[in-house]
């Protein structure tokens, strides 16, 4: 009787081990439709659109659409935890400074000034001096000086702040060179997915047409 009990226990343990290994294998095999660590809208849990945001005392908050901004403003305290998670993820992401905080022109490579422990780029020495004299006047513009779109949707190279197009809503899309702008405008649908992956979804109707 004892031998039978031991045998049954061994079989049960073996079955459990096999079951666990199969379960773990299944978990690893499960596909995911989300990019790892990409920030999510605190309202809908969908991936954010970096062009849709609002500024708060705790920093900038991003959303998937304008309707979610309205919901957030009605009861912001409900989403405090989700906002903290989003800001932590966004804080780890690469970004590129594309405009001078003083005059909105592309920054020069060799004109900088330190502010709040960070180095800011400026288009010229005059703008750097203006900022240094009155940093509080321009500090609120700093978040708008950067883009999280770090790669050209056409050439897949690092963006050049001097190569950009302005959308109907005032937002900008950046490229590695002027040639890529023409290619993009001719076939937006082909290159738009590369922008969506970076949190900047764009459609052909969003572009300004002359």
Burial class (CB in 10 A: 0-12, 13-18, 19+), 60: middle
Let me know whether 78 and 55 are in one domain: yes
At residue 26, does pLDDT exceed 70? no
Enclosing domain of residue 85: 49-92
pLDDT tens track for 31-49: 445 455 799 999 999 999 9
Report yes or no: 206 and 167 within 8 Å, Cβ to Cβ: yes
Residue 180 sits at φ, ψ, to 5 deg, of -70, -25
Residue 174 placed within a domain:
yes
Reported pTM: 0.79
Q: How many CB atoms lie within 10 A of CB 113?
A: 18
- Residue partners of 182: CB distance under 8 A and separation at least 6: none
CATH number, domain containing residue 132: 2.30.170
Residue 113 placed within a domain:
yes
Report yes or no: 42 and 61 within 8 Å, Cβ to Cβ: yes
Average predicted confidence (pLDDT) for the chain: 86
Residue 24 placed within a domain:
no
Residue 29 placed within a domain:
no
Q: DSSP class of residue 37?
A: T
């Amino acid at each position: 009787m004892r031998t039978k009990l031991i045998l049954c226990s061994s079989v049960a343990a073996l079955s459990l081990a096999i079951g666990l290994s199969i379960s773990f294998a299944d978990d690893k095999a499960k596909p995911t439709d989300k990019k790892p660590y990409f920030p999510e809208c605190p309202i809908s849990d969908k991936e954010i659109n970096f062009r849709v945001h609002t500024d708060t005392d705790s920093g900038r908050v991003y959303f998937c659409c304008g309707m979610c901004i309205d919901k957030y403003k009605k009861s912001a305290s409900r989403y405090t935890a989700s906002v903290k998670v989003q800001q932590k993820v966004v804080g780890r992401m690469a970004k590129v400074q594309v405009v001078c905080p003083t005059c909105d022109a592309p920054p020069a490579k060799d004109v900088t000034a330190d502010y709040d422990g960070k180095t800011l780029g400026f288009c010229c020495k005059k703008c750097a001096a203006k900022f240094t004299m009155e940093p509080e006047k321009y500090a609120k513009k700093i978040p708008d000086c950067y883009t999280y779109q770090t790669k050209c949707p056409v050439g897949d190279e690092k963006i050049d702040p001097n190569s950009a197009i302005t959308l109907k809503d005032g937002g900008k899309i950046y490229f590695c060179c002027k040639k890529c702008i023409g290619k993009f405008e001719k076939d937006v649908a082909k290159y738009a997915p590369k922008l969506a992956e970076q949190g900047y979804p764009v459609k052909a109707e969003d572009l300004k047409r002359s």
